[in-house]
Amino acid sequence: MSPRPWDEDVVYMILIDRFHRGSRSRGAVEPPFHGGNLAGVAEKLDYLQDLGVTALWLSPLYKNQRDGYHGYWPVDFFDVDPRFGSLEEFAELVRECHRRGLKVLLDKVFNHTGYDHPMPKDPRYRGWFHKGKEMLWIDQRSMEDCALHGLPDFAHEKPEVARFLIDMALWWQEKTGVDGFRLDAVKHVPIGFWRQLSEELHRKAGPEFLLLGEVFRGVPGYIARYQREGGVDAVFDVPFADTVRSALSRDCEMPGPSLFARLAELRREYKTMLFNEILRKLFARRPTDMRWFHKLLHGEDAYARPDRLAPFIDNHDLSRFASEVRDPGQRLRMALTLLLTWRGIPVLTYGTECGMRGRTDGSNRSPMPFGADPDLTDFTRRLIAFRRSQPALTRGTLLQAHADREVFAFLRQAGGSKVLTVLNNSGLAQRRDLELSSGAGFGPWKDVFSGEALRAGEGVLEVDLPPRSARVLVGPEGLAGC
């Protein structure tokens, strides 16, 4: 593998059981499993390379309890679930990915065991687990010391527990050669444990070994603490996802959902929703406003490394974006354009490029619908290729160029490479005069999608925007890459 910086990568999340079953797989599949396995991932590497992604995030491989299709209920921390494959098969998959220039992130669970793991009942591990208490989601100590959905909760404050879990992580890194770990349930584990894990893993695997942490809270200062103090290299950009899923949900001219509608949705789905999503939906009473992105950018100073945030629009724990919004065909293109021209390490969830829908009742984790929307898949492929061709999008600064209720625009710039993204969230066509700095505003601009040429006059660029649309314009030095 070449030492490619992580901010040049596009990550693709695969829920192994729901992605693809290898053609040589044998045996019946017992529900809730669908049969996806490592052999299936290997067979789809050509598809993933053609899509243009450069790193794969694979759901946990631990041997899981009978119904643990997702991998997050381990019963053995040192074995691969045979329904997914074997350790040797995974190590070979990693080697093949590396031969193709693909990085691999493996999802790791440190907070808990599965319900059926033998350790909590074994007297040799007495005191290794917190006693079951009901979790208070607004209290940090409670989130760290209480059981998540009743799962046996490790007592990380005990040195022997921390040592067991860190040795387990080192073992997986050594045996598989992966390029990083996705860390599950970060906010439910004391920050001191993450700091120790980070120090030991980076000492052994090197500074570019990525720890990507799931801290599901839409507050920049809260998330940033794990990056600044916990040694977690990158964190999922939950505030970005919240803003995209709120601001792009419907035309800005439409009223917000009524209290009755909000409560009815929560009543149907609150048992399967993340606490963060419950709060977001409960307070989503206002019409949408693209100035929310202006507010989002005000939180950037909280982070030690904004370039190591991982923005996303879909996630296997959330309802699918296409099921959250009106006019999903147009809005999904808007959201993908925003994601793939934003700063950080963008994360795509399997199926988004096919227009996959689903609620948190489990349909958000449906089998991968290969070929369901070829036009959207091709659109995603073109966006990824464009991102990878423009230095401004992989290492450039991000500056707001315009924000009002209907339209938001931002500029990415690195040296002579300049990319301007403009979004219209109105059901009506809009025209805006964008005032650009002298370093960015002169010379020809080209629309990446239509090929239309535009020219700024005295630093002002006039842009016409169809309803519910995103335009991506590239400056003169980036035209060759289009």
Report pLDDT digits (tens) over 319-366: 999 999 988 999 999 999 999 999 999 999 999 999 999 999 999 999
* The predicted structure's pLDDT at residue 481: 46
CATH architecture of residue range(s) 398-481? Sandwich (2.60)
Give dist(CA 475, CA 391) in Å, integer.
12
Q: What is the mean pLDDT of residues 117-143?
A: 94
Residue whose token pair is 């299709």: 69
Give dist(CA 64, CA 151) in Å, integer.
13
- At 182, list the tokens: 């996705």
Task: Region of 74 please: left (phi>0), alpha (psi -120 to 50) or beta.
Answer: beta
Q: What is the mean pLDDT of residues 183-202?
A: 98
* DSSP result, 327-345: SHHHHHHHHHHHHHHSSS-
Instruction: Name the CA dihedral angle for 242, 248, 253, 257, rounded to a multiple of 10 degrees.
Output: -50
Give dist(CA 105, CA 93) in Å, integer.
12
CATH architecture of residue range(s) 6-391? Alpha-Beta Barrel (3.20)
What whole-number percentage of the chain has pLDDT above 90? 88
* The predicted structure's pLDDT at residue 195: 98
pLDDT in tens, 197-206: 999 999 999 9
The three-class DSSP label of residue 26 is: coil
Q: What angle do CA 419, 179, 220 make, to 5 degrees?
A: 55
What type of residue is 451? G
- Per-residue confidence at 436, pLDDT binned at 50, 70, 90? confident
pTM of this prediction? 0.96
* The predicted structure's pLDDT at residue 480: 46
For residue 438, pLDDT over 70 is answered with no
For residue 1, pLDDT over 60 is answered with no
Sheet arrangement for strand 180-183: 309-310, 234-236, 210-213, 180-183, 103-108, 55-58, 11-14, 347-349
Sign (positive/negative) of CA torsion 253, 254, 259, 262?
negative
- Asked if 392 and 417 touch (Cβ cutoff 8 Å), the reply is yes
Q: What is the mean pLDDT of residues 130-158?
A: 93
- Spell out the domain ranges in the chain: 6-391, 398-481
Q: What is the mean pLDDT of residues 159-167?
A: 98
What type of residue is 63? K
Q: What is the mean pLDDT of residues 361-390?
A: 97
* The predicted structure's pLDDT at residue 374: 98
411: phi then psi, degrees, rounded to nearest 5: -110, 130
Give dist(CA 289, CA 247) in Å, integer.
6
Give dist(CA 181, CA 347) in Å, integer.
14
What whole-number percentage of the chain has pLDDT above 70? 97
* The predicted structure's pLDDT at residue 482: 46
For residue 440, pLDDT over 70 is answered with no
* The predicted structure's pLDDT at residue 434: 94
Q: Which of 171, 52, 47, 45 shows the shortest CA–CA distance to 106?
A: 171
pLDDT in tens, 243-299: 999 999 999 999 999 999 899 989 999 889 999 999 999 999 899 999 999 999 999
> Packing angle between helix 238-247 and helix 220-228, nearest 10 degrees?
150
Residue whose token pair is 């950037």: 300
Sign (positive/negative) of CA torsion 439, 442, 444, 448?
positive
For residue 59, pLDDT over 70 is answered with yes
Q: Which of 336, 476, 358, 352 shows the shortest CA–CA distance to 417?
A: 476
pLDDT in tens, 64-121: 999 999 999 999 999 999 999 999 999 999 999 999 999 999 999 999 999 999 999 9
**What mean pLDDT, rounded, does the chain reach?**
95
- Per-residue confidence at 133, pLDDT binned at 50, 70, 90? confident
Q: What is the mean pLDDT of residues 163-187?
A: 98
